[in-house]
Each structure stands twice: as C-alpha cells, then as structure tokens.
A = this chain, B = another copy of it.
C-alpha cells in the first residue's frame, strides 16, 4: 500500500488479507452483455464461493439469472468486497457509493486509467485519493482481480478452466492476459496454487504488498512473480529478505531485459551497470530465483513447493533409459548439479537387483528390462537410498498420458512406486522425461494413488533443481547467520562530510586524498613545488616514478604533455618536473606544481566503482581492468551495502578469475585482501552520502597480497 506511505507493514498485510478473504461480494456493473461479468459470475458459482454474491445493475433487472440491485446502497448487508466493472466515466461515482455503503475492499477491473495517458492518470489519482480518504483498499484498476484458490474465492474477470488445484504456490502477475496462460500451465503441471493475483495498475495495492501478505500467508510456500517493473525497490528488498528468512522461495520471470541499457557516464563503471544487470544483482543478493520462461517459472515453483529446501546438490538418478541418463548428465553440468559415484556398498546392492547388463552407476539406467519387471526402479531406489554420497534422489517416471488400458493394474503399480518414494530415506523428486501435460488421466492415477508431484520434464526440471539447490544453500546460510540476505538498504558507518560543489568532479589528488584518508590503500604520492623536491620524493619512493602536472584547472593533462612515465633517476625526475610545470603554465595554469608517484608494473588490474542508480541506490561494479572491462565488460555487480562473502563470490565469478589465481605465471592474488579493499571502497561510497553520484578506483593494482589503488575519480550530484 505504498501509494499512501502511511500504513505500517502489518496494517498493510491486514488490509490485503481482508481484500483477499471476503465473505460476501458485490459485482457492480453486472450485465449479461459483458464477458467479464459473465466470467466472474461463473467463476464464483462454479468455484463454489462459500459466501453471498450480489449483483448491482442500475436498471435493477435480472442478470445472470439473478435479481440485481440498482445501487450498492440497496444491498441488504455491508459486503466485504466490491468488484467494480462499470464504465470508466462512472468509476469515481460508484466508488463514492461503495464508500458510503461502508465497503472496505474493492477490485477495479475497469480500464482507461494511467495506462492510457495523462487524462487517465489524473482519473487514477482521483480514484486513489478517494480510496485513501475513505479507507478503501483497491486492487487495480485495469486488473482482472484475483483467485484465492485456497479459500475458493474467485473474483476474477477471465473465465477459469474449472476449479483450480489447491496448493502452496502464490502467483502475482503484472500481466493480465498472460495470467490465463500461467493458470493453464499450472493446471497441466498439476501444480497447486494458493492465490493468483492480476495486479493491474497497482495504483494502491502493489506487487510488494501482495508479496508481504504471501510471506505471512500460511497456505503459501512459494512466491511466484511475473514482473514487468519493480515499482517499490526498497519494499522489494525488504520483502525478499523476509521471504528468505521465512523459508519461502521467490521465483520470478522479469521481462524487459532488453530495455534501458547501460548508462553512459564519465566513469567506466557507468558502462558496466545496465538496468537488467542490476536486476540480476538484486535477485542474486536476495536469493530471488530468476527464470527465463513461463515454463521454468511454473516448473521451478512446483518443484520448490514440495521439495524446498533441498539437502544438497549431490543427486542419485533412477531412470528407465540410457538416453535419459545422457540428457541428465549434460544438463547437470549446465546447472552445477553433481552426480557422484555410488559407494561400493550401494553398487553391490544394485548389482543384486539390476539385470546383469545394466551398469549400476549413477545415473542409473534400469534398462528396458523394466517391461519385464516394472518394479525395477523401486528396487534401484531402495538400493541407493542410504548412500552417503548423495543428498537426494531423482526418479524419472511419467504418469499415464492416456487412460491406462487396465486402470486398476496401473493404480496398483503407481501405488507401489508412490509408497516407495514416500518412505525412502532421502527426499525423492519425481521427474518426467518431457514437459507434456499431466492429463486428466494422469491426474486421476496420481489422485487414486497419492502419487507425488511430477516435475515437468528433464530439461526444465534440471533448471528447477539447479535453482532450488542454489536457493537452499542461500536459505541455510541465512538461517545460520541468523539474518536475511544483504544488499541495498541504507548506509552504514559514520558519514564522511565532504565539501563538494553540485556537479563537481574530484579527480586524481583530491579523490586520492579523500580515499586515502578513509582507509583505501592509495599508491603514495607527493605534491612538490620544485624540481629538487620532486627528486627527493622520487628517492624516497624508489624508481621508476611518474611525474604528473598538478593543476586543477587542466583536465586532460597527458594531452598537453603533463604526464611523464618511467623516470629512472633523479636527473630525469628534475627534468620531468620542469617540463610538466612548463606545459601547465603554457596551457594557462596559474600556479602549476607536480605530483610524484612510484610507478608500478606487473600484477593484475581491477576496476572498482560505485554508481548511484535512481531506483536502487548505490551499485558497486567490480571487474578486471583494461581490455577485460572494455571488450568483455567482465564485471560483477552488487547493490550496496554488500557483505564480504558476496564480494568474494562475485570476484570468483568473473570470466577472467583465473588471472587472479596466478594463471600465466603471475603471482596468485590474495583474494581476501582484495575483498578487504573492495569492501572498504564500498563502505566509503556509502558513507559519502546521498550526493555521491559515482566513485571509481581504476586501476586497483593487485600484486599478490599487495593491493594499491593507482587512480580514482569521484563525481557529485
């Protein structure tokens, strides 16, 4: 309920709970001429809504075979929910009547608001103002409503394909029309839902409000999102952490990957930070599972709804086919899942039950002999269930697609399998070969035998398993740490006060001094005002050194001959001092002096930068410098603040990470030392406050455990 910003989170949850749990509903604008009216009425009747449904039609006629009321005022009781589907022009008037009637929750299906332009947006603002003033909770406008599957409450404007299967997946969609596709997919995967909400314009109740409710909702175990835009970033971060702490995975399909694109900014960091790569970072840091397709959205949610958390990523596979084993092996590699060898004891047990020509290795192909002995897979399952090398078992099997010729025999066979799976000593995940529907025949057999859920095909199933394993690790880590994930909340540490003009840029000395004062290991430098002082500084640092013009008024010093590299002795330094100062004077500097620095060579260069995203706040980019960042954009992003573990994981995920491990004969870098410095830079960026626009250290030179920032740039808003 972020539009108002006045309700506490718990009050918001309470109002959303009321919205989704009405005991009586008034359909306002009910008419036989409207598809929406027909559909929602049929949904409520066929869905066996246990409460009372009233119809409101200005003519007070019979609608859908039921007597209607001319206005809300005529209703015989104060209903819990108004479902508004009147013309755009009368929505405000109707909502006033709704308020007058004391109704506290409304779904506004009507479109023609913010989505159609300025005039509509103004109307939407009036709607919100009215709702706030009169204390009405509004879902929509321009949304199809919701299906509270758990409680059989279906004020939903598109016709449902019969009663939806009850389960523990809570679905929130920012697309109305795709909801039907998602519902159908869930039905064909036999995936049970707790709630499905079509958000509409989110003028009042937002996606994150619904998520917050779902975190508390006992019927919901998995939160499934179709996201076009995250409108309330801070809420999203907070709710994501709450969900992780509550052990409820969030699975999200975020569309619009190609939109936005990378920022162009003064600092290199800008080119590394794209809208979609920030979303990746946000999700990764907060254990939100990102998927790429509606199929993965539902298959992954369904798997998680009955198998999360997974004990680990070491899996024993029981399959009826060598081909399936090979597909599985390939996909396991893609998804970072492990197929360990069985223990000798397990292999001995398998040798007893499998035919001689079966290999008995993981993944197990019980072979075509399954046609002669249909219980072979159960025997294999029994043989491997105590193996210490595996965390869980995947059992490849399909429910019957057609009505089995001998239904009772099929039921008996599936019963035996179902029992073996349920009583196995390790979690067992049943996975079909492909994602073909679980048909009514399959569902009938599953229901008759209490057969477990069947994950939708090896291809999507292995993706789901990989994501589930990753989430489960994050969940266990969060539980162990006694806290949620990190990233993206307010600043930490003592603020650093800086006197910077609006739009000012701190380069070189000024940036370096600020960072050095705050604990960032900058390469030493000396500001000198004579050739002799330059030579003395160089002697102190050791050779070779660099001499740079120091003159704030000149931007591109190397262009005017203001930078001299590779100076190997005192004479060269003195000459360089005179040269750069002369060059500075020639270019109009009032009082040029020079900076002496030791010149470093070798090692690996990193770039570490933080830029402020208008939506997500400070985003830290860490990458390998030079060609890596310029050609490959090889970098990893984190929302700030970020913990050391995430920084480390990010470094290790770089494509060029091997360079840090001492590839090509370079000294292996001290990763922990790098993490210290990066964390320090991130900390300074946070402490510099809201006016910081960007802070970049480039390059950060890494030579073994010696980490030194060679240059820095800070820009201010």
> Which of A's residues lie within 8 Å of B, judged by CB?
35-36, 111-112, 115-116, 158, 161-162, 173-178, 181, 184-185, 188, 226, 228, 253, 255-258, 292-296, 320-324, 326-327, 329-330, 333, 356-357, 368, 371-372, 398, 401-402, 433-437, 439, 457-460, 626-627, 630-632, 655-656, 658-659, 663-664
Q: How far is the CA of A322 from the CA of B177 in the complex (A)?
A: 8
Given known contacts A178-B323, A255-B326, A255-B329, what 11 new A-B pairs fall within 8 Å (CB)? Answer: A111-B357, A173-B323, A174-B323, A185-B436, A228-B326, A293-B459, A295-B459, A437-B439, A630-B664, A631-B659, A632-B656
Q: Is the CB of A433 within 8 A of B181?
A: yes
Distance between A498 CB and nearest chain B CB, rounded to angstroms? 33
User: What residues of chain B lie closer than 8 Å to A257, measured between beta carbons?
Assistant: 330, 333
Q: How far is the CA of A185 from the CA of B432 in the complex (A)?
A: 12
User: What residues of chain B lie closer than 8 Å to A459, measured between beta carbons?
Assistant: 292-296
Q: How far is the CA of A36 from the CA of B185 in the complex (A)?
A: 35
User: What residues of chain B lie closer than 8 Å to A434, measured between beta carbons?
Assistant: 181, 184-185, 294-295
Q: Is the CB of A226 within 8 A of B437?
A: no
User: What residues of chain B lie closer than 8 Å to A177, measured between beta carbons?
Assistant: 320-324, 368
Q: How far is the CA of A372 from the CA of B333 in the complex (A)?
A: 49
- With A321-B178, A327-B255 as contacts: A632 and B659 at CB distance below 8 Å: no
User: What residues of chain B lie closer than 8 Å to A176, measured between beta carbons?
Assistant: 321, 323, 368
Distance between A213 CB and nearest chain B CB, rounded to angstroms? 22
Q: Is the CB of A295 within 8 A of B255?
A: no
Q: How far is the CA of A293 from the CA of B462 in the complex (A)?
A: 11
Q: How far is the CA of A127 from the CA of B256 in the complex (A)?
A: 60
18 contacts between A and B (CB under 8 A): A35-B372, A36-B371, A111-B368, A162-B402, A175-B321, A177-B323, A178-B321, A178-B433, A184-B398, A226-B323, A255-B330, A256-B326, A256-B330, A293-B457, A294-B459, A627-B659, A631-B655, A631-B664
The winner among A176, A372, A627 for most chain B CB atoms within 10 A is A627
User: What residues of chain B lie closer than 8 Å to A433, measured between beta carbons?
Assistant: 178, 181, 294
Distance between A227 CB and nearest chain B CB, rounded to angstroms? 10
User: What residues of chain B lie closer than 8 Å to A295, measured between beta carbons?
Assistant: 434-435, 457, 459-460
The winner among A116, A329, A436, A626 for most chain B CB atoms within 10 A is A436
Q: How far is the CA of A558 from the CA of B170 in the complex (A)?
A: 66
Q: Is the CB of A327 within 8 A of B294?
A: yes
Distance between A73 CB and nearest chain B CB, rounded to angstroms? 30
User: What residues of chain B lie closer than 8 Å to A371, measured between beta carbons?
Assistant: 35-36, 158
The winner among A111, A320, A433 for most chain B CB atoms within 10 A is A433
Distance between A202 CB and nearest chain B CB, rounded to angstroms? 14
Q: How far is the CA of A435 from the CA of B433 in the complex (A)?
A: 14
- Please give me the 9 A-B residue pairs with the lowest Cβ-Cβ distance, nearest first: A175-B323, A177-B321, A178-B323, A293-B459, A255-B326, A181-B433, A437-B437, A35-B371, A116-B357
The winner among A185, A326, A330 for most chain B CB atoms within 10 A is A326
User: What residues of chain B lie closer than 8 Å to A178, measured between beta carbons?
Assistant: 321, 323-324, 327, 433
Q: Is the CB of A333 within 8 A of B188?
A: no
User: What residues of chain B lie closer than 8 Å to A323, measured between beta carbons?
Assistant: 173-178, 226, 228, 255
Q: How far is the CA of A398 from the CA of B180 in the complex (A)?
A: 11
User: What residues of chain B lie closer than 8 Å to A333, measured between beta carbons?
Assistant: 257-258
Q: How far is the CA of A137 from the CA of B416 in the complex (A)?
A: 43
Q: How far is the CA of A365 from the CA of B578 in the complex (A)?
A: 68
Q: How far is the CA of A256 from the CA of B185 in the complex (A)?
A: 30
Distance between A381 CB and nearest chain B CB, rounded to angstroms? 18
CB-nearest residue of chain B to A459: B293
Distance between A376 CB and nearest chain B CB, rounded to angstroms? 12
Q: Is the CB of B664 within 8 A of A627?
A: yes
Q: How far is the CA of A437 from the CA of B655 in the complex (A)?
A: 40
Distance between A440 CB and nearest chain B CB, rounded to angstroms? 9
- With A324-B177, A330-B257, A664-B627 as contacts: A115 and B435 at CB distance below 8 Å: no
User: What residues of chain B lie closer than 8 Å to A174, measured between beta carbons?
Assistant: 323
